[in-house]
Homo-oligomer: A and B are copies of this chain.
Amino acid sequence: MNSELAGRILNKDKRAVARGITIVENSNSGSAQLLKQIYSDIGRAFRIGITGPPGAGKSTLTNQLTKFYRKQGKTVGIIAVDPTSPYTGGALLGDRVRMSEIGQDVGVYIRSMATRGSLGGLSKKAIDAADIIDAAGYDFIILETVGVGQSELDIAQAADTTIVVLVPESGDAVQAMKAGLMEIADFFVLNKSDRPGSNQAVSAIKTILMMRDHDASSWMPNIIQTVASENTGIEETAAEIQRHREYLTGTGSLNKKRELRTRLRIKEIVEDKLRTELWNNDRENSLNSSLGKVVLGNLSPYHIADEILENFRKQF
């Protein structure tokens, strides 16, 4: 049945894509099998990561970019990763606007993935979902997430080009720079650039970019000014994506990036499998019955851990 599903995904059947992503999202047993079946058909889509603070206009930028690509006859898959922080309440509303604007277009596939409580697993699942969309033949995949905590690092790992979206006010730029978003940005979009302070913000970003350690890389992140809600600067953003894409291809960095992504993924697969074997019913039970001894008595968790490991090694 999965083999039939894989066939339907390769045939660009949107409902099959949706079902495939649900399978990887729930990490159910068919997941590895499905991904094996589609694996030879991925690698053609170009993956764009979009991150930034709440309210920077990431969804609007994504929508406008999508419309731009559609006019060029390209197809677009969108994965909106929502870490469901208690303090980013806009996701649902944004989704509704998005659906009414581009959701009905046959050349657009949109999927939201919520990740609360499984942040560590976000990268793998987002990559798996992107692989399914890739296998279905979409030209571009946009991975969009709010930049809080870990999620923006995961997105940078999953994307070929990463865009950090900022706005002029509130010192966002400087905060973002300090906190390490500089390393993941292939370029910056300064959205809402019709607001006061826009040019100063561009200068601030440039100044900080100049101070950073230059590595051997010849790529220098640009800053594109946009007003996404008025469709201003979208063409320039697409052009910058294209410029970065050509840089990646020309220098061999695209394959390098994808190798790193594959590396992370293989490690996750290996560790997941090992973890499943490790925590079988017997060892879960033996762990449970040891807990009381640790809490009440004086046996350290390190002693119990050693016992479990020894038992695990014996099985081979």
Residues in chain A within 8 A of chain B (CB atoms): 32, 35-36, 39-40, 43, 53-54, 83-87, 89, 116-117, 119-120, 147-153, 171-172, 175-176, 178-181, 255, 258-259, 262-263, 265-267, 269-271, 273-275, 278-279, 287-288, 290-292, 294-296, 298, 300-305, 308-309, 312-314, 316
Instruction: Judge whether B89 and A175 touch: CB under 8 Å.
Output: yes
Instruction: Judge whether B117 and A86 touch: CB under 8 Å.
Output: no
Instruction: Judge whether A305 and B273 touch: CB under 8 Å.
Output: yes
Known: A32-B302, A148-B149, A262-B301. A180 touches B116 (CB 8 A): yes
Instruction: Judge whether B175 and A86 touch: CB under 8 Å.
Output: yes
Partner of A179, one of B116, B269, B275, B303: B116
Determine the chain B residues whose CB is within 8 A of the CB of A181 once the complex forms.
Answer: 86
Instruction: Judge whether B291 and A259 touch: CB under 8 Å.
Output: yes
Q: Beyond A32-B302, A43-B295, A119-B149: 19 further Cβ-contacts under 8 Å? A: A36-B303, A39-B301, A40-B298, A85-B148, A85-B149, A87-B148, A116-B179, A117-B150, A119-B119, A150-B150, A255-B296, A262-B295, A266-B305, A267-B279, A267-B287, A270-B278, A274-B278, A274-B309, A314-B316
Partner of A294, one of B150, B262, B279, B292: B262
Complex-state Cα separation, A273 to B287, whole angstroms: 16
Instruction: Judge whether A308 and B271 touch: CB under 8 Å.
Output: no
Partner of A36, one of B274, B300, B308, B314: B300
Complex-state Cα separation, A71 to B35, whole angstroms: 61
Complex-state Cα separation, A83 to B43, whole angstroms: 34
Known: A148-B149, A270-B278. A86 touches B263 (CB 8 A): no
Determine the chain B residues whose CB is within 8 A of the CB of A274 once the complex forms.
Answer: 274, 278, 309, 312
Instruction: Judge whether A89 and B291 touch: CB under 8 Å.
Output: no
Instruction: Judge whether B302 and A35 touch: CB under 8 Å.
Output: yes
Complex-state Cα separation, A172 to B278, whole angstroms: 41
Determine the chain B residues whose CB is within 8 A of the CB of A275 once the complex forms.
Answer: 271
Q: Which residue of B lies closest to A55 (CB)?
A: B87
Complex-state Cα separation, A5 to B106, whole angstroms: 66
Complex-state Cα separation, A298 to B37, whole angstroms: 11
Complex-state Cα separation, A43 to B300, whole angstroms: 12
List 7 tightest A-B contacts by C-beta distance, closest first. Answer: A86-B179, A316-B316, A149-B149, A39-B300, A269-B305, A40-B298, A259-B291
A-B pairs with beta carbons under 8 Å apart, 17 shown:
A84-B180, A86-B147, A86-B148, A86-B152, A86-B176, A87-B147, A87-B148, A87-B172, A255-B296, A258-B295, A262-B295, A263-B287, A266-B301, A269-B302, A270-B305, A270-B308, A314-B316
Most chain B beta-carbon contacts within 10 A, residue among A84, A86, A271, A316 = A86
Q: Which residue of B lies closest to A52 (CB)?
A: B86
Complex-state Cα separation, A260 to B87, whole angstroms: 28
